[in-house]
A = this chain, B = another copy of it.
Amino acid sequence: MEDLTELLKGVLEGCVLTILARGESYGYQIVRSLNGAGFESVSEGTVYPILVRLETKGLVTTSRVPSTTGPPRKVYTLNEAGRTASDSFWQRWDYVSARLAELREEDSV
C-alpha cells in the first residue's frame, strides 16, 4: 500500500483509544496490535508520542508493571474522559466517512 501518512492524522490516536477501550495495555504491545491490524509501518516513534498526548490530556491513568521479559511496562488504562474521547472519535469518523461516501456516489449520478 502506498503512503498512508496524511490519511492517518487523527486516526492513529483514535486507534489507540479504541485499543485501550478493550482493556489496559502498554506502548510496545499497542504497536504490535496496530501492526497486526494492518497498520504495518506504524512504529514506536509514532505511538509513544500519542501515549504522551493521551496522558497530558488526562484521558488515561498509568502504572508501572514489572515484566519478566524486559524492563517494567508503563501500562495505560482508559478513564471516563478517555472513553468519551473514543466515542467522539468514532462519531467524527462516521461523519467524515458518510460524507465521503456520498461525494463518491455523486460520481455515478
A-side residues, CB < 8 A to B, are 1-11, 14-15, 18-19, 21-22, 37-39, 88, 90-93, 95-100, 102-104, 106-107
Contacts and interface: CB of A to CB of B under 8 A. Distances in A.
Given A8-B96, A9-B7, A93-B7, A2 B88 contact: yes
26 contacts: A1-B95, A2-B88, A2-B92, A4-B95, A7-B9, A7-B10, A7-B92, A7-B96, A8-B96, A11-B96, A11-B100, A14-B100, A15-B100, A15-B103, A18-B104, A21-B107, A22-B106, A37-B99, A37-B103, A37-B106, A38-B95, A38-B99, A38-B102, A90-B104, A93-B100, A97-B97
A103 B7 contact: no
Report how many copies the assembly holds: 2
Binding site of A, secondary structure by majority: helix, strand, loop or mixed? helix
A54 B95 CA distance: 26
Given A9-B10, A15-B100, A100-B11, A107 B38 contact: no
